[in-house]
Structure 1
C-alpha cells in the first residue's frame, strides 16, 4: 500500500499541490497514519502529579517535550475519552499534541487580559486559563453560536472561571484598539493537518477553500493586531500546511503594520518555513515562524508565528 497513491484516489489535486511543498514519501505516509492520542492534565482541577499517578494506573504515558510538563502522549490507540471519569471530571483535556504549542508560545500570565479570537472547541482556551491560574480575564470568542455552546461546555468541565464567551465575527475586536495584553488567533483554515484524524478533510479539501480561508485570515489577523496592546504578544496559528494560509498571511501583516516577529524556541523538529510560493516572495522575517509537517514529530501538521507589537 502506497499512501501517496491512496490519497490520489481520494483527492488528486491535494496530492498535486502538496507534493510541490514536500517531496518526501514520509509526508504522505504520516498524513495517512492515525494520530497518536494525547492529553493535557488540567491543574485547575488538581495537582499534576496526583492526576498523572491516576492515569498511569490505566495508561503508559510519554511526556510531550514542548509543554510545561502537563502534556502526554498515550501509548495506545483505542482510548475512548468519553468513558474516562478523569475526562468527565475535567481532570484531563484530550488535545492534539501540536495544538498545545500556540498557548505555550503565547505564554499568558496570571492577571492578564487575553483575547482568544477563534476559541471553539476550547482546548487552547482551557490551556491559557491553566497557565493564568484562573486569574485575570479571557475573552473567548467564536463566530458560530453552535460552536460557542460546545466551547462553554468545555470551559465549564475544565473549571475555567475567568472566561467571557462571545459570539462575534473575530474582526469585530479590531474596534478595541490597544486593549489586550495577548491575543491568540488560531485561525479557521483548510485543515490539512486534521486529515490524520479523519479522511473527510482530504475529500473536502480544495484550492478554493485555501484562498477563501486566506482572505478571512488576513482580515482577522489585522483586527487581532489592532486589538493588541503595544508591547503585547500575539500568536497566529493554523492546523494546515498551505503557505497561502500561513507564511503569506504573516507576510501580509508585516507589510500592512509595524508588527515584528520573534523566533520560537521549543524542543521540537520543524520543516523550514516557505519564503517563496507560486511566484510570490515573502519577507525573510517569516523564517522566524514555525512550520510543522506530520512526519516531523508524528503529530498533526501545524504552523505558528509569534508576533509582537512595538511599544
Structure 2
C-alpha cells in the first residue's frame, strides 16, 4: 500500500498536478539501457538482442527503452560483458548536457555506482581523464565493478571530500538528494520523506556546489543535477550559487518535454536566470523526475 504523507501532498500540489504526480510515482518504470559504444555498436547490440524491441530515448543517441522476453536485463550475458548499462532514461541527461571531450580533465564528484561515469567515458572514447569520486568507501565497490565491466580505461577512483588544489575542465555534480523524482524506483522514499531531511540535504548541496564551482577552471562548465523535484534542492541551490559566486547559467536545449522551473517558494524569489535550467516531473516523459543546471564560470 502506497501512502503519501499529508505534508508531502500539500507541498508538491503547489507546483504540479498532484494527482498525476502521485499516479506516476507508483507506476513501474519503463526499462531502459544505454549501449556501451566502447565495446559494441548500437547496430551490433540490436542484432544480438534481436528478440527485444528498442525504442529510442530522444535525448541520448545510445539510450533505448527496451522490451522483450526478460525484464531482468542485468542478468543477460550481454550485460555481464559490458555491452550495455541498465540506466534510467532521465539519468542520461546530465552527461549529455556536460558534453565531455576527449582531451579534458573531468570530475564526477558523486560518481557511484557509475552510470554517468561510464557514459562520459564512452563519450570521450576512453581518452582524457575522469576523476570518479565518492565520499563513502562502501559505494566504491560498485563503481569499480561497473568501470571494469564496461572497459573504462581513462578513470581514476578517489575517496575525497574536496579538491581544493586541482582545477578541472568540466565537473558533474549529480548531488546526493531526497530522490523525490525517483519514488517509482524506491517507494521507501515516501516513508522517510520529511521537510527536515530536505533542508539538511539542501544545505549539503549548497556546500557541494560552491566547492565544485571553486574547483573549475575559468570559462569552463559545471553541471548540477538531482533526481529530486523539490525546489529547495534545485532552484534554491542554484539561486544560492548565483548570489555567492560569479556564475552564469546556460540554456539547456534538448528534445524533451519539460515543466516550468519554480521561481517562488515560501516568500522567497529566485533569480530569473534559473529559467534556463531543466525541470522535468515523472509525468512529463514517463521517466524519473530530474533537475539539471548548466553553469559556466
Name the TM-score class by shorter chain. over 0.9
Look up the SS of the partner of 1:244 in the other structure.
helix
Match of 2:217 in 1: 229
Does residue 113 in structure 1 map to residue 101 in structure 2? no
Specify every segment of 5 or more residues in structure 1 that has no aligned partner in the other structure, as ranges. Answer: 1-5
**Are the counterparts in 1 of residues 12 and 18 from structure 2 also a CA contact under 8 Å?**
no
**Are the counterparts in 2 of residues 129 and 138 from structure 1 also a CA contact under 8 Å?**
yes
* 1:11 aligned to which of 5, 8, 15: 5
Match of 2:271 in 1: 283
Match of 1:43 in 2: 37
Match of 2:254 in 1: 266
Match of 1:88 in 2: 80
Deviation per CA, 1:167-209, whole angstroms, max 9, x where unpaired?
122xx12x135x1110000000000122111211111111111
Q: What CA distance in whole angstroms lies between the structure 1 residues aligned with 2:135 and 2:69?
A: 33
**Are the counterparts in 2 of residues 243 and 274 from structure 1 also a CA contact under 8 Å?**
yes
Q: What CA distance in whole angstroms lies between the structure 2 residues aligned with 1:117 and 1:295?
A: 29
Structure with higher helix content: 1
* 1:239 aligned to which of 227, 252, 264: 227
Matches within 5 A, 1:73-222: 73-75=65-67, 79-169=71-161, 172-173=162-163, 175-176=164-165, 179-222=167-210
4+ residue segments displaced more than 2 Å: 9-13, 75-78
Specify every segment of 5 or more residues in structure 2 that has no aligned partner in the other structure, as ranges. Answer: none
Look up the SS of the partner of 2:110 in the other structure.
coil
Q: What CA distance in whole angstroms lies between the structure 2 residues aligned with 1:192 and 1:77?
A: 31
Does residue 31 in structure 1 map to residue 25 in structure 2? yes
- Give 1:77 shift: 9.5
Q: What CA distance in whole angstroms lies between the structure 2 residues aligned with 1:276 and 1:11?
A: 23
- Give 1:19 shift: 1.4
Deviation per CA, 1:4-58, whole angstroms, max 9, x where unpaired?
xx75x34332222211221342221111211111000001112221112212x13
Matches within 5 A, 1:300-311: 300-309=288-297
Q: What CA distance in whole angstroms lies between the structure 2 residues aligned with 1:307 and 1:77?
A: 42
Matched residue count: 297
**Are the counterparts in 2 of residues 236 and 306 from structure 1 also a CA contact under 8 Å?**
yes
Match of 1:3 in 2: none
Q: What CA distance in whole angstroms lies between the structure 2 residues aligned with 1:78 and 1:275?
A: 43
**Are the counterparts in 2 of residues 40 and 93 from structure 1 also a CA contact under 8 Å?**
yes
Look up the SS of the partner of 1:45 in the other structure.
coil
